[in-house]
Structure 1
Amino acid sequence: MRGNKVLGGLVLLAIIALLNLPLPAELKLRAATRDSTVLPQTVLAIMGQRCHELFTFLFSARQAVRERESMMDEVARLRHDLRYLKELNRENRQLRRMVDFKEASAHGLLLGRVISRGGVSGWWQSVRINRGSADGVKPQQAVITVDGLAGKTTTVTAHTCDVLLITDPSNRIACRLERTDALGVARGRGVGLGGKTEFEMVRAAEPFQVDYIDKHAEVVEGDTVLTSGLGGGYPEGLLLGHVVGTSLDRSRLYQSLSVRPAADLGRLRYVWVVVK
Structure 2
Amino acid sequence: MNQFFTNKKMIVLLVSVILFVSLLSLSLTQAGSSNFVQQFTNDITAVTGRIFAKPVNAVNDLFGSIDRLQDTFEENQRLKKEIDRIYETQAELAVLRDENQIMQEELDLQNSLTDFQTITGSVISRNPDAWVDQVTIDRGSQDGLENGMSVMSNNGLIGRVVETNPTSSKVVLLTNLEGSSNQVSAEILSEEVINGLISGYDVETNRLIMTQITSTAEIAEGEQVITSGLGGSIPRSLVIGTVDEVTMDDHGLAQRVYIKPAADFEHIRYVTIINRTAESGE
Report the TM-score range of the alignment, normalised by the length of the smaller protein: 0.7 to 0.9
Secondary structure of residue in 2 paired with 1:139 = coil
CA deviation after TM superposition for structure 1 residue 95, in Å = 2.0
Counterparts in 2 of 1:36-185, with a 5 A limit?
A: 36-105=44-113, 106-120=115-129, 122-169=130-177, 170=179, 171-179=182-190, 180-185=192-197
8 Å CA contact 1:168, 1:190 repeated in 2: no
Separation in structure 2 between the aligned mates of residue 100 and residue 243 of structure 1, nearest angstrom: 22
* TM-score, normalised relative to structure 2: 0.79
Separation in structure 2 between the aligned mates of residue 190 and residue 257 of structure 1, nearest angstrom: 11
Counterparts in 2 of 1:18-33, with a 5 A limit?
A: 22=24, 24=27, 27-33=35-41
CA deviation after TM superposition for structure 1 residue 52, in Å = 1.6
CA deviation after TM superposition for structure 1 residue 167, in Å = 0.9
Larger Rg: 2
8 Å CA contact 2:157, 2:240 repeated in 1: yes
CA deviation after TM superposition for structure 1 residue 190, in Å = 6.2
User: In structure 2, do the counterparts of structure 1 residues 146 and 107 end up closer, same or farther at CA, with 3 Å as the change threshold?
Assistant: farther
8 Å CA contact 2:102, 2:154 repeated in 1: no
Aligned residues: 245
Q: Report the RMSD for the aligned CA atoms in angstroms.
A: 2.3
8 Å CA contact 1:244, 1:258 repeated in 2: yes
CA deviation after TM superposition for structure 1 residue 37, in Å = 4.2
* TM-score, normalised relative to structure 1: 0.81
Secondary structure of residue in 1 paired with 2:60 = helix
5+ residue gaps, structure 2, are 1-16, 29-33
After TM superposition, the structure 1 stretch with the greater mean CA deviation from structure 2, 99-108 or 138-147, is: 99-108
8 Å CA contact 1:124, 1:191 repeated in 2: no
CA deviation after TM superposition for structure 1 residue 165, in Å = 0.6
Separation in structure 2 between the aligned mates of residue 125 and residue 94 of structure 1, nearest angstrom: 22
Letter in 2 for 1:116: S
Report what 1:220 is aligned to. 220
Separation in structure 1 between the aligned mates of residue 108 and residue 160 of structure 2, nearest angstrom: 22
User: In structure 2, do the counterparts of structure 1 residues 262 and 177 end up closer, same or farther at CA, with 3 Å as the change threshold?
Assistant: same
Report what 1:236 is aligned to. 236
CA deviation after TM superposition for structure 1 residue 163, in Å = 0.7
Secondary structure of residue in 1 paired with 2:35 = helix
Deviation by residue 1:78-134 (Cα, 9 ceiling, x = unmatched): 3212321332233234323322431331211100100111322x1011111001101
